[in-house]
Amino acid sequence: MQKKFTDWDLDDDIQQGVAALGWIEPTPIQIEAIPVARKGGDIIGQARTGSGKTGAFGIPILESVNASGELQALLLCPTRELANQVAEEMRLIQGAKGIIIATVYGGTDIDKQAKQLDSGVDIIVGTPGRVMDMTKRGHIDLEIPQILALDEADRMLDMGFMPDILWVLEKMTSRSRTLLFSATFPPEILDAANQFMSEAEFVQIGDMEIDLPPVDLFNINIGRGNKLWALGRLLTIQQQRDGQTIVFTNTKRMVDLIVERLRKCRIEATGLHGDLAQNKREKVLNSFKAGEFATVVATDVAARGLDVDGVTMVVNYDIPNDVDSFIHRIGRTGRAGRRGEAWSFTSRDDAPLLNKIQGTYDLVIPEVDTPELPEGVDRDPVKWREDFGELSDVFGMVKIGINVGKEHGLSKLSLLEAVLSAVKMDEMAVGDIYLNQNDSIVCIHKTKVSYVIDGLNGKDIGGQKVSASTSL
């Protein structure tokens, strides 16, 4: 088994490029895939994000391509950010070989891309939709390239790109080699692979164990109403450490909302999601990599390519919808020899998904309290508030304790009337009433709890000044 890149008889330029990157020992997927791919046949590689896939398919492709200005290889990626990342890494791997690598993706100047393509390129790294578009416009001739590589095929399936990929495949009539890499292989991908690949050799990392960077994992069980409070506290701690943070959420709308609310609390943060113009996204990425600001709030898609050595904390504001995304997220920290932290905010509804993540990857993610403020900081940047949603039962009812009972001449009916009179709300918002000798419990729908508490406190019921709260 190969232990070092120098053990392979690689092209001199590529060997120098690999050395310049500081690569000494190949990763497990590179050990398995590179010798097979160098033989020239089709290959299916199974490896997770961050396992060294780009080197696994990039080195054999770069060895096969000449600096001629004629398109010889097409690499398809699910997102613009990943396409940029793959293209940049391949430019570095090739050393001084002089191969022209062009990126082709949406959200950027199409005329500029067209001009570069027309001037001659050796390798295209792009997203399926824009490659299709450029082909239809006459700037890409898919009948010419002999090599096709698909990176993160399962993610492309999830994003609805499979019809576009099949369209590209049909046009590549000179294709003689196909390299397909994916973390998982759903039936749709396997069916497609059987159609367009010939006697492909399958390689995978042994038992598919993940090689995580040094990251400490934590879970804070908290309702949505106080996620921002917990985030504000974590970012305050980061300010003391002078570290960078990536905050992940599942929607573009939530990215914008978190950034807006943080800024109102005087915490500077920048958003990154798919609706931003491509030049804006690249500007944010480059500024963050340069350390010009400390916090980015991003969606999964936008965070592809966010490899920043200064990131020492990742926060899952929302738990991702699939388990592989969790690994991708936490892999953004713990780089360059620096230990990282990955914090996840979970409510009771997230418990099944969190258990699935832990079970799939054999991880232990301990539940902890929100950390205390650093010494010398006496106030949270975001105010904590009682989260009635987390206190409620499955029907949305919250128990409120009231310091009046039977000894104050109350019955369940008279207490109900007193509550409705004080708050003036629909009777449907009131659930069960438990009347004791000295106090009572009234179940109120979570949407009305604050009104009831505010309306009752200080009122006179049965000759008693009322005190109402959720602290029973």
Instruction: Give the mean model confidence (pLDDT) for residues 448-458.
Output: 87
The whole-number average pLDDT for the span 397-406 is 90
Q: What's the number of domains the chain is made of?
A: 3
* pLDDT value of residue 207: 47
Strands (DSSP E) found in 317-396? 340-346
**pLDDT per residue as tens digits for the range 436-450:** 999 999 998 888 888
Of residues 87 and 280, which shows the higher confidence score?
A: 87
Which one has a higher pLDDT value, 448 or 143? 143
Chain-centroid distance of CA 430 in Å reads: 41
- With 80 as the cut, is the pLDDT of residue 406 above it? yes
Q: Say how far residue 316 (Cα) sits from the centre of its chain.
A: 8
Q: Are strands 440-445 and 430-435 parallel, antiparallel or unpaired?
A: antiparallel
381 located within any domain = no
Question: Is pLDDT at 381 greater than 60 in this prediction?
Answer: yes
* DSSP-assigned states of every residue in 206-256: TT------SEEEEEEE--GGGHHHHHHHHHHHHHHHT-EEEEE-S-HHHHH
Percent of the chain with pLDDT over 90: 40
DSSP per position, 54-98: HHHHHHHHHHH--SSSS--EEEE-SSHHHHHHHHHHHHHHTTTS-
CATH number at residue 81: 3.40.50.300
pLDDT at 192: 79
404 shares a domain with 278: no
Integer angstrom CA distances of residue 127 from 60, 79, 114? 21, 6, 15
What's the confidence (pLDDT) of residue 208? 46
The predicted structure's pLDDT at residue 62: 96
What pLDDT score does 337 carry? 66
pLDDT class for 351, splitting at 50, 70, 90? confident
More confident residue, 79 or 213: 79
Residue 424: Cβ-neighbour burial (10 angstroms; 0-12, 13-18, 19+) = exposed
Q: Which of 207-216, 219-228, 273-282 has the highest mean pLDDT?
A: 219-228
Q: What pLDDT does 393 receive? A: 76
What is this structure's pTM? 0.54
Residue 438 domain-assigned (yes or no): yes
pLDDT band for 304, please (50, 70, 90 cuts). Answer: low
Same domain flag for 198 and 225: no
List the domain range (segments joined by +) for residue 149.
5-204
Question: Shortest CA distance to 303 belongs to which of 319, 318, 285?
Answer: 285
Residues 357 and 451 in one domain: no
Of 2-16, 42-56, 229-243, 382-396, which gets the smallest average pLDDT? 382-396
pLDDT of residue 140 exceeding 60:
yes
Q: What is the pLDDT of residue 58?
A: 94
pLDDT tops 50 at residue 28 = yes
Q: How many CA atoms lie within 13 A of 406 on its CB side?
A: 4
**At residue 367, does pLDDT exceed 70?**
yes
* Cβ-contact 165, 192 below 8 angstroms: yes
User: What confidence score (pLDDT) does residue 307 get?
Assistant: 73
Residue at which a domain ends, from 147, 172, 204: 204
Half-sphere exposure of 252 (CA within 13 A, CB side): 6
Same domain, 339 and 450: no
- 80 and 200 share one domain: yes
Compute the average pLDDT of residues 323-344: 82
Q: Check whether residue 71 and residue 154 sit in a common domain.
A: yes
Average pLDDT over all residues of the chain: 86
Question: Do you know the residue count of the chain?
Answer: 472
463's tokens: 């000759």
Using one digit for the tens of pLDDT, what is the confidence trace for 251-263?
888 999 999 999 9
Q: Are 316 and 326 in contact (CB under 8 A)?
A: yes
Angle, vertex CA 193, rays to CA 187 and CA 197, nearest 5: 160
Q: Are residues 117 and 254 in the same domain?
A: no
Residue 48: per-residue pLDDT: 66
Are residue 137 and residue 191 in the same domain, yes or no? yes
| For residue 143, pLDDT beyond 70 | yes
The pLDDT of residue 275 is above 90: no
Q: Is residue 380 part of a domain?
A: no
Give the residue from 204, 233, 266 where a domain finishes.
Answer: 204
